[in-house]
Amino acid sequence: MLLGFLLFYVGAVLFLNGLWLMDRIQDREIVVINIVSGLVAAGVVIQGAFGSDAGIQSVRAAALTLMFATTYLWVAYNRLVAVDGRGLGWFSLFVAITTVPVFLRGISGAQSMTEVWLAGNWLIWGVLWFMYFLLLALGRPILRQTAWVTLIAGIVTGWLPGFLLLDGLL
């Protein structure tokens, strides 16, 4: 259930950040969903890493989830202080590289369609974070493409599966 809760907000923040990149939402307004989603992810991190049931798998998941929390809180910070985002771009490269072994471990050990889907999400998220590296750190002119990938990834990897998990349909 916690995965559905987290993915639901990942979907919301990615969908809205995609709209923001399309200039449909103002800089100061996008801060709210990024803070909320960052705090939701941080709560999952705390429970997974430090909760009474914490173990090897939950700590690993918490470490990976912290990359999401950090990203969303960093986006909010950048909008509040009006910086160019190069630091977030370089962090995005770190995250994109990190998703490669996560995807490979997930796909090679997948024993169900759900596990294949989860591994595929890491591949999609890795591509997205790499696009943010190109856009923010290197200044590549891919804003429109990044906006669409962000929006679609929000629906496919977050909102829809999160909603289905919360409703017990997945």
Q: How does pLDDT run across 151-161, given as a tens digit for each residue?
A: 999 999 999 99
Q: What is the DSSP code string of the chain?
A: -HHHHHHHHHHHHHHHHHHHHTTSS-HHHHHHHHHHHHHHHHHHHHHHHHSTT--HHHHHHHHHHHHHHHHHHHHHHHHHHT---HHHHHHHHHHHHHHHHHHHHHHHS--SHHHHHHHHHHHHHHHHHHHHIIIIIS--S-HHHHHHHHHHHIIIIIIHHHHHHHTT--
Q: What is the reported pLDDT for 131?
A: 98
Q: What is the pLDDT of residues 10-25, one digit of tens each?
A: 999 999 999 999 999 9
* Cβ within 8 Å of residue 120, ≥6 positions away: 103, 107
- Whether 158 and 11 have beta carbons less than 8 Å apart is answered as yes
- pLDDT tens digits for range 42-66: 999 999 999 999 999 999 999 999 9
